[in-house]
Amino acid sequence: MSQKRTTLLGAAVAMTAAVTMLTVSPAQGATGKPTPAATTAVDANSAPDNAASARVSPSDATTSALTTIQERIAQYVAKNGTKYSFGSYTDPATGQIVLETDAPAGVVSSLTDLSSAQASQRQAAARLQVRHTGTSDAWHRRDDISPFYGGGGIQSGGGLCSSGYTVQNSAGTRFITTAGHCFATGAAVRTESNANAYGTVSNRHLPTVNGAAKDVELIGGQSYSGRIFTGGVTSSTSIPVVAAGTAYVGYTDYCFSGRTSGEQCGHTATSINAQVCTSSGCKSPVIAYTGGNVGTNGDSGAPFYAKDASGAWIRGHFIAFSSTTGWAEPWTVVAPTLGVSIVTG
């Protein structure tokens, strides 16, 4: 059933039937969506995740060993294709390297063997934790109306994804983000219900498309709002975007909000310098996070954020998942890559 963002103001009961009147309050626009209030600059240090930190910081040797291993993985995928998936980062609880992959032991060994490196890097590699699990791109609330919110269901050519958050370029033109593996450049995107045109894809960045270690694209040509959906998969509730910035390792209540999973919170950021390699190539640096439902097919592009009473603090957008870990393209990569700034609600 289509979602209607109109306000229920009252009901009059007659002898034979009840009549519900749908109208627009003075505080709403013609579509029934809240009219954005004037916003002022906020202090980035007031974000709820600002004080978080990893319990164990990785040593220089561990960081160097991880960089070497990630470079090898990227080279392996570039040469051999995307048959196997790889996710790698340092665990904030132990300071050790974690590798999530469905590759066979021989491949893993060749990529993680640092026997010719310095002793400290060999030791770091020897403590590496291998988790045998696959990591997948996330394909696939449902019937949004203009101006469009982040976290809505979008589709093109049979593919389903989620919208991210609204941005604008230097000329003030607005777009909304999603994952770069969702739709081809020039694709006409519609709402999941197919009721409304959502826009056209541009500025696509993806390893298998343009060699960039990123997973983002823009959708433009329609009206987009600085708000994101919250609640369940057919919810019409939303919160304003307050600001955007870096994620913080150790923060334990990050959220994402997508068309498949709805809003899911309670996630812990385990790394902001992770690498994830899927069927669409290797992306880095990305955010790795754990805890609860980390996302699934159709949530790709969904906004990843911290939230408080003021609204959502955007940290990136969801791009991939394994059985234990979610992965998000960071705002700190998106903004300079696309030359955009965040639109607040």
Looking at residue 33, its pLDDT comes to 67
Rounded Cα–Cα distance for residues 36 and 175 (Å): 17
Distance in angstroms (rounded) separating the CA atoms of residues 12 and 17: 9
pLDDT of 22 reads: 28
* DSSP of 186-205: TPEEEETTSSSEEEEEEEEE
pLDDT in tens, 3-52: 334 333 333 333 333 333 322 333 444 456 666 666 677 888 889 898 88
Return the pLDDT at 83: 85
> Tens of pLDDT along 212-230?
999 999 999 999 999 999 9
pLDDT of the residue at 24: 32
Question: For residues 3 and 157, which has the higher predicted lDDT (pLDDT)?
Answer: 157
Q: Report cis status (omega within 30 of 0) of the bond before 147.
A: yes
Tokens 């980390």 sit on residue: 294
Please give the pLDDT value at position 12: 36
- Averaged confidence pLDDT in the chain: 89
Residue 32: per-residue pLDDT: 61
CATH number of 44-53+136-342: 2.40.10.10
List the structure tokens of 22: 């749908």
Which residue type sits at 95? G
Q: 286-297 pLDDT, tens per residue?
A: 999 999 999 999
**pLDDT tens figures, 236-277:** 899 999 999 999 999 999 999 999 999 999 999 999 999 999
Numbered ranges of CATH 2.40.10.10 in the chain? 44-53+136-342
